[in-house]
Amino acid sequence: MHIDLAYGKGSLTIEVPDDRTTVIEPTHLPGLPDVEAALVSALRNPIGTPPLRRLVGRGQTVAISVCDITRPMPSAILLPVLLGELSHVPNDQIVILVATGTHRPNTMAELEEMLGPDIVHNYEVVNHDAFDNSSLAHLGETSDKIPVHINRRFLESDIRITTGFVEPHFFAGFSGGPKMVAPGLAGFDTILGLHGAGLIAHPNSTWGITEGNPIHGEIRSIASRANVDFSVDVTINRDHDITTAYAGELSAVHRATCQVAKRTAMRPVSAPFDVVVTTNSGYPLDLNLYQAVKGMSAAAQVVKKGGTIICAAECSDGIPEHGEYGQLLASRESPSELLEMITTEGFASHDQWQVQLQGQILMRAQVYLKSSFLTEAQIRSAHLEPAEDIQATVLDSLDRYGKEARLCVLPQGPQTIPFLASGET
């Protein structure tokens, strides 16, 4: 059986035994036949709010939250339609805020790729900076005592709009919606609180769960404080084409879009597998190792304890260098020591959440990584094993577990989230 694995802007092809392999991919929905008309319809027939054009007056200022380069959000398609509905508002009264969270700022070339050159050169586009306290405003604390600091430009605008795409998320339940406020436009201390060790370790802080998920609950609480006026969420297929679009009141829009994402992107399996091959859905999601933890987490949902995960992620942007993810990984000799460090009372560090999630995965399974941009030393420093030849690694792993060993392949990585129908762990 030949399988193409999403990898960078291309793919890797592997051949695996037909009789022992289960391939899990999302239900393919075709792109909307007339995406512009569908988006216009959503904006003019929203859920729970007036149409966007009626909602915004000519003299009002508008802030629009958009995804950064690590997300395959088709903003270059959505934004021209959305801004067309705001044609009565002068361009200089509109600011587009890139919801970077704690990620690095996007370059001019990346902004043009994400949003389109016309928008970048005709509107003010600002990379959110979670570490610039002067750019943030304080909105009190959540019930869990998380300080709430949100981008000042967003809060001080008369009309606040979020745009995002919805897919299962490995600890917040689903992406999009309220995440476009926090962590997207939040300050570092807010983000650190949302990603605290106790919240990350909660059993409901996982793929596809929003109700009862303490992280999603806090994110939703913070977004409500920001008084978002209008939200647009979309789902996309493996070609990054828009398949559904909803607009209107933030929570209602997100719920509706999550239902679509759950039906198309989550797949039950009857039993765990000895070996699971995954990707991080190719570019831009596999830009760096930090992001690739999502693909590993998708695989971890259905790998046997003591099994093997093999992840293909190009990592053209490295580990990356910004933040403390790489340094934290290299600071301890084993995954158990990493988890002990992170769960120590009073410990707080940038990127600890990603290291904690990776440590939890590594306590369950051995993880190999195929990357064209990381050295063997860098891969080993992250407590992973290098996989120069991914097909050979797959076959060697199957041999190690014996003739009855079963293989699962997630060619599109976390675009499909498998789960055990029995609920076993």
Write the secondary structure of 307-331 as one string of H (helix), E (strand) and C (coil).
EEEEEECCCCCCCCCCCCHHHHHHC
- The answer to pTM > 0.85 is yes
Are 303 and 309 spatial neighbours (Cβ–Cβ below 8 Å)?
Answer: yes
CATH 3.40.50.11440 spans which residues of the chain? 35-264
389 closest CA partner among 374, 403, 372: 372
The CATH number fitting domain 35-264, selected from 3.40.50.150, 3.40.50.180, 3.20.20.370, 3.40.50.11440: 3.40.50.11440
Residue 13 has pLDDT above 90, yes or no: yes
pLDDT one-digit tens code per residue, 132-173: 999 999 999 998 899 999 999 999 999 999 999 999 999 999
149 is catalytic: no
Q: Which amino acid is at 224?
A: S
Q: For position 323, what pLDDT does the model report?
A: 78
Q: What is the mean pLDDT of residues 28-47?
A: 96
Say which of 128, 149, 169, 350 is annotated catalytic: 169
The alpha carbon dihedral of 389, 392, 398, 400 has a sign of: negative
Mean pLDDT across the chain: 96
The CATH number fitting domain 2-25+270-420, selected from 3.40.50.2300, 3.90.550.10, 3.90.226.30, 3.30.160.40: 3.90.226.30
121 is catalytic: no
pLDDT classification of 423: cutoffs 50, 70, 90: low
76 closest CA partner among 35, 44, 104, 42: 35
Q: Which residues of 327-342 are buried (b: 16+ CB within 10 A; e: fewer)?
A: ebbeebeebeebbebb
Say which of 103, 254, 350, 383 is annotated catalytic: 103
Residue 91 has pLDDT above 70, yes or no: yes
CATH 3.90.226.30 spans which residues of the chain? 2-25+270-420
Q: What is the mean pLDDT of residues 288-303?
A: 97
Helix (H) or strand (E) holding 148: strand 147-151
2 closest CA partner among 382, 416, 394: 394
pLDDT classification of 322: cutoffs 50, 70, 90: confident
